[in-house]
Structure 1
Amino acid sequence: MTVQTIAECRLLYELAHTTDSDEAGLRTRLGLDAAHVSRTLDSLVAAGLVERVPAGTRVALTARGRAAAGLLAERARETLRTFLGSPAPQGSAGVALREPRPGDLGWIVQRNAALYAAEYGWNADYEGLVARIVADFAEDHDPHLERVWIAELAGRPAGCVMCVRDDAPGTARLRLLLVEPEARGHGLGDRLVGAVVDFARGVGYRDLVLWTNDVLGAARRIYQRHGFVLTAEKPHRSFGKDLIGQDWRLDLHRSGE
């Protein structure tokens, strides 16, 4: 493999996680200057890992580039597993759910902002939304009806989710489901959503709702496995992107029969 610099690794990662990239977009998302991005892309093109689309400024990974990006991702996962002293992902071994400790609410904001910027190119508007949601919970919540879970893998935070009261009577809302990329494959997403469903049903909510976007395919599949039903879709412009928002609902009485 010919990738040698951190900048080349960052560009390969970005291109592997976006479907439509141009040099201007890469500069914005990575916070690099134009000359640096151009030089790095030239190096990757010369190595046969990236190609420039003719008559335009778009760039994309070649087949060789996709293989290199996959190898880099696997090496990163192996490094993390070695650092954490955990085995390769299988089942839910080493996974624990707990209540937040001091500093965890700030971690939720930081990781949501960083992860969605890296994987989907969302801008700081999303960080502001998450910060408001977390601040509202921290300042005023009913511990009997609202809760936050932190998922740990090998003793380190690796995911989160929140259950809060919705405006509709008898309805709870699932918010801010997140699983770190390196922790995927351990069933953390299922464990987190299952915890919300069990809690909401146990304290007497009738319905559990959530709002998400169609690009978040892995999360949607988890919701479907737990019985959520899509109730509405609407295009919108948020977080610097054109998205399709989705409302999902779970009838807790029926799903618990």
Structure 2
Amino acid sequence: MSSPVPPDQVDTVRGFNRFYTRRLGVLEQHLLNTPFSLTEARVLYELAYREAPLAKEIGAELGIDAGYLSRILQSFDDQGLISRKPSPDDRRQSRIGLTAKGRTTYGRLEQRSQQEIAAMLAGLQPSERSRLVASMTTIERLLRAAPSQGPVLRGPQPGDIGWVVQSHGAFYAAEYGFDTSFEALVAEIAGRFLASHDPRRERCWIAELDGAQAGSLFLVQASDEVAKLRLLLVTPQARGHRLGQRMVQEAICFARQCGYRKVTLWTQSILVAARKIYQDAGFILVATEPHRSFGTDLIGETWELTL
């Protein structure tokens, strides 16, 4: 049974909410001096990071009234920001996606948001920024701790990159007999991302289940037109939640938003579960090559997806 909440704690949280919404400017009629309200920007975000969702899926995720959402989508349609295609499962429902204009519009909004937050943080000392981010991480973790919350995907937080390296090393040693040279490779890839990635065109997803890390995936830039998937992992404890599929779909949506023409990846023939995820996402096997790496004989595979 939950204990009564003291009124002063409720007042403190409400006061923080008022302060923070004013600080981010979300009480203005339009968000970040754009033509969009906060709700409209959230709908654009869902369309950018979901693979052709139904309107009811967006409404359920954001808790938006169906009539209000319908008006937002009609406005987007009138502006040429979205396209609609009948769902093959139910012709009465439409799958919704961003048009090229819609992706460009969302990209500008995302860039402006990044700039606004960066400007806000720039006024703080490095130690103050670290305290602020750590506090925000704590707030998010605690509020997500309710039993009703299922698996989530999020960006990396302090300690996550080290977890990626350790988990890959331990898992592949136990499952496939890889030696420490594999962990060294993972450390090199993850460390390079942590030190110098471009957040506008590169991203890391951390899967979380019951408050603990459960998986990872990186998308990095190979060239102006080609992105590369790296370090896909789902822990044995988190299998059955389709986290691998969700991370790959998130990465594909992000790659499209960034304007990449192709996504490529390198994997091994023995990684049957991962190969199935890539194949189901539309990747095509384009090359194979036997090699000896990580202390064992392997068949490397290159897969590609044209966007």
Q: TM-score interval w.r.t. the shorter chain?
A: 0.5 to 0.7
Q: Distance in 1 between matches of 2:277 and 2:203?
A: 20
Task: Indicate which of 165, 189, 213 corresponds to 1:157.
Answer: 213
Alpha-carbon displacement from aligned partner over 1:112-156 (angstroms, at most 9, x marks no partner): 000000000000010000000011111111100000000011221
Alpha-carbon displacement from aligned partner over 1:49-87 (angstroms, at most 9, x marks no partner): xxxxxxxxxxxxxxxxxxxxxxxxxxxxxxxxxxx9979
Larger radius of gyration: 2
Q: Distance in 2 between matches of 1:85 and 1:239?
A: 41
Task: Indicate which of 286, 292, 306 corresponds to 1:231.
Answer: 286
| Equivalent in the alignment of 1:173 | 228
Instruction: Give TM-score, length-normalised by structure 1.
Output: 0.61
Instruction: Give TM-score, length-normalised by structure 2.
Output: 0.52
Alpha-carbon displacement from aligned partner over 1:9-29 (angstroms, at most 9, x marks no partner): xxxxxxxxxxxxxxxxxxxxx
In the alignment, is residue 211 of structure 1 matched against residue 263 of structure 2? no
Output the amino acid matched with 2:256.
R
Q: Distance in 2 between matches of 1:180 and 1:85?
A: 22
| Equivalent in the alignment of 1:144 | 200
| Equivalent in the alignment of 1:95 | 151
* Structure whose residues are more often strand by fraction: 1
RMSD across aligned positions (CA) = 1.6
SS of equivalent residue, structure 1 residue 145: coil
SS of equivalent residue, structure 1 residue 227: coil
In the alignment, is residue 128 of structure 1 matched against residue 184 of structure 2? yes
* Structure whose residues are more often helix by fraction: 2
In the alignment, is residue 108 of structure 1 matched against residue 164 of structure 2? yes
Q: Point out 4+ residue stretches in structure 1 off by more than 2 angstroms.
A: 84-87
Task: Indicate which of 174, 188, 193 corresponds to 1:118.
Answer: 174
Q: Distance in 2 between matches of 1:199 and 1:161?
A: 12
Alpha-carbon displacement from aligned partner over 1:147-185 (angstroms, at most 9, x marks no partner): 00000112211000000001x430000000000001100
Q: Structure 1: any 5+ residue segments left out of the alignment? A: 1-83, 88-92, 253-257
Number of equivalent positions: 163
Q: Distance in 1 between matches of 2:268 and 2:224?
A: 24
Identity %: 53
Q: Distance in 2 between matches of 1:85 and 1:180?
A: 22
SS of equivalent residue, structure 1 residue 191: helix
Q: Distance in 2 between matches of 1:230 and 1:86?
A: 40
Output the amino acid matched with 2:287.
A
